[in-house]
Amino acid sequence: MLTRARGWLATEAGAPDPRQRQYVLLVVLAVVAGTVAGWFFELQTPMLLGALTTVLALTATSGQALRSDLRRFMWLTPALVLMMAVGPMLTKVPVLAGLAVALVVFGTGMLPALGEHYRIGGQIFAAATLVTTTTGIGNDQPFLVLLASTAAGGLFALLLRVIVGLGDPGHATRVAVARTLLTPGPGVLEGAAAAWRADGSSTWLGQVLAGSARFRAARETLLAQAQQSDRIEAERLREIVAEADKVAAELARAVRSRACTGLPMAARRDPAQLVVARGGRQDLPDAVAGVNQGLDRIRAAVVNRDESPVPPAEDGALKERLVGAVRAHLSFRSSLFRHALRCTLAVAVGMVIVLLMRDPSASSLLLALYVVLAPAARDSMTGALERTGGAVLGVTALAILITLLPGAYLLVPLVIGGMLLNMPRLRAEYQVVLGCLIVITVVDQAMALDRPLVNVGISFAANTAVGAAIALIVGYVSYLVLPSSILPDVRGAVRSTVWSVSELLRSVRASGQGADLPKALQAANVLALRRTQDLLGMPALLDGTGEETDDNHATRAAAIALDALRQDVSTLAFRPAEERKVAVPALRSVDDLLGGKSTAKIPDIPAGGAPASELLASSLVENALHARQAIDRSFGYDNPWKSYTISFVRPERLHIR
């Protein structure tokens, strides 16, 4: 534990990180000062609401560079502060409280369609709504006191974020870009590109991304060719990839650093020549040239570091993405819509029971219900029984602890301090956020109730069990009522997703060659979005069916790869015609791969143009290679890169209903 703490408080080079130490010191002082002030001046509730606002605001808005985090902070935190202040007032009007909870749960349940940060922000806002409108915390305080305490909590969150990021505002962006040189697999490049665009699109990081995209596409091509070669040739190609990965790791270290005066020898080596020098065949595949081109471009960008922003392209994709997401998911055919509706129905039933009980110990009911349902992916009931048991046993153990431990109220500041010091985990694991909120509300309400603590503990445990049971019942009944599949057709889902992405790809390719197909592009984009989102929820449906070892992993890999590919093609669909024209060779190669052809090679992607254009074109190839291998696995082919044919005769019309 001490080693982990020292690593967290140090820079990558091992030196003490003053910003992290300032952050930890400020958090500890604030928690201690808030606890003392709340106890001596009887301000426990305002202090608690302010602290919760700080935690939730930081969780919802951190994760990228300082500039992009502050931009997100400015529009999300005021809404969060207002909900934390208004929520306790709504408890006095049960109808309004129930309506607010239902609308927020449904709306935030649909936000994953817009991206990762929207998903996290929506989940945190839903948690804030549940805590303030159902637990009774703060309903005995004047509105101005609530508003002042939550606003102070929001400002303190801003202070903490600025302290961590002010010394090196672009650190998170450089780390995200460097990760593309270290982490293989689909989706990594898209996440880094999103972080780069949100942080101002500096030229040198754009050049690094473009070079990394070319390197990754060539690397995956070499690995695919190794699978199709004899043992000796396959070993040689894998050695080239291994040497290239070592060079890329050295370059990643240079990308993460704030400044670079020169590259070490390990970052300037030619990976292919090292392998050739050991003996064997001297001729090299064309993909090796792509590896070297990508590494050369990264080297030049890292050393020169042009900080000027890349001029933004005329991008109409934002409006199209919003319209496409609405058309794709406001339908019972969408698994995301079905899951949002399922959560809303369960929360509505829970709200009715809470209002009928009129017991403060019922505060854990809705949070436990949400723990069971909300983290599940779309149509899934995956892990629902485990989360049910965990929630009930956890609250029971907490009730026993409160009963036996003197000064149990100190658990609240300890939990809040722990949350502030573990922001990355809170962002990655929503059930941890909800679990911490359950601990805080149970301890706070137990201390406030004028009843024997044993009875209070039993009440909380029983109400938690009721909430979990409601989630399970509503979840199971919804499978019988809503149009979903308990026994999913994995191969059929993969085939239909491949078909929809290929339809979108062919429309973009035709538009890049001069065709005017706006309606076909929109319809294909909507269908591909729905199909990939449904396939992303498929692995969770397979849990517990006995197919976890093979179908689950293969389907998850296919879903992630096809969704990353769909994002690239969808972005390209609504970009300027010049970018679509540049990407035509890549689109043709991707079309062949998805159609079942077994040839893996690097297409002729023009280099030296706008970083965003080359980034998209190379990313298309990489994600298509990942998708093709995942498709082979999901279809059960023992021999990789077997030729197959997916019929592209339309099995359905592109009519969105």
CA atoms 277, 278, 283, 288: torsion sign: negative
The residue-averaged pLDDT of 588-592 equals: 82
Residue 550 has pLDDT above 70, yes or no: no
Residue 129 has pLDDT above 90, yes or no: yes
Q: How many residues does the chain have?
A: 657
Cβ neighbours around 634 below 10 Å, total: 25
Asked whether 97 and 52 are in contact (CB, 8 A), the reply is no
434-443, pLDDT tens digit by residue?
Answer: 889 988 988 8
Q: Which of 442, 459, 481 is the last residue of a domain?
A: 481
Which of 495, 374, 521 is CA-nearest to residue 435?
374
Residue-number span of the structural domain to which 292 is assigned: 170-304
19-78, pLDDT tens digit by residue?
Answer: 788 888 899 999 999 999 988 888 899 999 999 999 999 999 998 899 999 999 999 999
The answer to whether residues 67 and 112 belong to one domain is: yes
**Helix intervals (H) in 449-546:** 453-481, 490-512, 518-542
Percent of the chain with pLDDT over 90: 23
Asked whether 144 and 152 are in contact (CB, 8 A), the reply is no
Rounded Cα distance between 135 and 114, Å, is 30
Q: Is 323 a member of any domain?
A: no
Q: Is 310 a member of any domain?
A: no
Rounded Cα distance between 612 and 207, Å, is 9
The residue-averaged pLDDT of 226-244 equals: 88
The predicted pLDDT at position 606 comes to 63
Q: Is 372 a member of any domain?
A: yes
Strand partners, 202: 309
**Per-residue exposure over 491-510, b if at least 16 CB sit within 10 Å of its own CB, e if not:** eebbbbbbbbbbbbbbbbbb
The answer to whether residues 190 and 52 belong to one domain is: no
CA Rg, the chain, in Å?
27
Asked whether 297 and 207 are in contact (CB, 8 A), the reply is yes
Confidence band, pLDDT 50/70/90 cuts, at residue 538: confident
Percent of the chain with pLDDT over 70: 81
Q: Roughly what angle, to the nearest 10 degrees, separates helices 611-634 and 203-227?
A: 30
C-alpha 503: how far from chain center: 26
The predicted pLDDT at position 262 comes to 81
Q: How many domains does the chain have?
A: 3
Q: Is 124 a member of any domain?
A: yes
Which of 475-479, 578-582, 626-630, 647-651 has maximum average pLDDT?
626-630
The CA-atom distances, in angstroms, between 489 and each of 250, 443, 526, 557 are 44, 46, 21, 16
C-alpha 514: how far from chain center: 36
Q: Is 57 a member of any domain?
A: yes
The answer to whether residues 133 and 147 belong to one domain is: yes
The answer to whether residues 512 and 549 belong to one domain is: yes
Residue 126 has pLDDT above 60, yes or no: yes
Give the chain's end-to-end CA distance (angstroms, integer).
54
Asked whether 231 and 639 are in contact (CB, 8 A), the reply is no
Q: Is 407 a member of any domain?
A: yes
Asked whether 43 and 37 are in contact (CB, 8 A), the reply is yes
Q: Roughly what angle, to the nearest 10 degrees, separates helices 143-165 and 18-40?
A: 160
More confident residue, 610 or 499: 499
**Helix intervals (H) in 41-65:** 44-61
The answer to whether residues 138 and 217 belong to one domain is: no
The answer to whether residues 499 and 625 belong to one domain is: yes
Asked whether 60 and 426 are in contact (CB, 8 A), the reply is no
Residue 82 has pLDDT above 50, yes or no: yes
Residue 560 has pLDDT above 50, yes or no: yes
Tokens describing residue 325: 């997401």
Please tell me the least confidently modeled range out of 118-132, 222-236, 286-300: 222-236
Q: Which of 455, 481, 507 is the last residue of a domain?
A: 481
Q: Which of 481, 509, 536 is the last residue of a domain?
A: 481
Task: Catalogue the long-range contacts made by 421-430 (C-beta closer than 8 Å, 24 or more residues apart).
Answer: 421/24, 421/27, 423/58, 423/59, 423/62, 424/63, 426/55, 426/59, 427/59, 427/62, 427/63, 427/120, 430/123, 430/374, 430/375
The answer to whether residues 41 and 67 belong to one domain is: yes
The predicted pLDDT at position 548 comes to 47
Which distant-in-sequence residues (6+ apart) come within 8 Å of 43 by Cβ?
37
The predicted pLDDT at position 3 comes to 53
The answer to whether residues 84 and 136 belong to one domain is: yes
Average pLDDT, the chain: 81
Asked whether 537 and 335 are in contact (CB, 8 A), the reply is yes
Tokens describing residue 39: 């106890």
Please tell me the least confidently modeled range out of 200-204, 296-300, 374-378, 628-632: 374-378
Please tell me the least confidently modeled range out of 86-90, 96-100, 287-291, 477-481: 477-481
- One-letter identity of residue 462: A
The answer to whether residues 29 and 153 belong to one domain is: yes
Burial class (CB in 10 A: 0-12, 13-18, 19+), 75: exposed
Q: Is 320 a member of any domain?
A: no
Residue 303 has pLDDT above 70, yes or no: yes
Which of 332, 333, 330, 370 is CA-nearest to residue 349?
370
CA atoms 201, 205, 209, 214: torsion sign: positive
Please tell me the least confidently modeled range out of 268-272, 330-334, 476-480: 476-480
Q: Is 324 a member of any domain?
A: no
Full DSSP string of 496-524: HHHHHHHHHHHHHHHHHTT---HHHHHHH
Which of 224, 225, 219 is CA-nearest to residue 240?
219
The CA-atom distances, in angstroms, between 358 and each of 135, 278, 501, 519 are 11, 78, 51, 54
Q: Answer left, alpha or beta for residue 515, where phi above 0 means left and psi between -120 and 50 means alpha.
A: beta
The residue-averaged pLDDT of 507-535 equals: 79
Please tell me the least confidently modeled range out of 62-71, 347-356, 589-598: 589-598
Burial class (CB in 10 A: 0-12, 13-18, 19+), 373: buried
**Per-residue exposure over 563-592, b if at least 16 CB sit within 10 Å of its own CB, e if not:** bbbbbbbbbbbbbeeebbebbbbbbebbbb
The answer to whether residues 152 and 10 belong to one domain is: yes
The predicted pLDDT at position 547 comes to 44
Residue 603 has pLDDT above 70, yes or no: no
SS (H, E, C) 229-278: CCHHHHHHHHHHHHHHHHHHHHHHHHHHCCCCCCCCHHHCCCHHHHHHCC
Which of 69, 66, 88 is CA-nearest to residue 77?
69
Which of 132, 141, 126 is CA-nearest to residue 441?
132
The predicted pLDDT at position 544 comes to 46
More confident residue, 561 or 322: 561
Which of 9-13, 116-120, 379-383 has maximum average pLDDT?
116-120
The residue-averaged pLDDT of 198-226 equals: 90
Please tell me the least confidently modeled range out of 211-215, 499-503, 565-569, 643-647: 643-647
Cβ neighbours around 136 below 10 Å, total: 20
The CA-atom distances, in angstroms, between 278 and each of 38, 266, 271, 272 are 71, 18, 12, 10
**Per-residue exposure over 42-73, b if at least 16 CB sit within 10 Å of its own CB, e if not:** ebbbbbbbbbbbbbbbbbbbbbbbbbbbbebb
Which of 271, 269, 264, 263 is CA-nearest to residue 291?
271
How many Cα neighbours within 13 Å face the side chain of 86? 11
Element (H, E) at 616: helix 611-634
Residue 350 has pLDDT above 70, yes or no: yes
Rounded Cα distance between 23 and 165, Å, is 10
Strand partners, 309: 202
Confidence band, pLDDT 50/70/90 cuts, at residue 215: very high
The answer to whether residues 455 and 549 belong to one domain is: no
The answer to whether residues 438 and 372 belong to one domain is: yes
143-152, pLDDT tens digit by residue?
Answer: 999 999 999 9
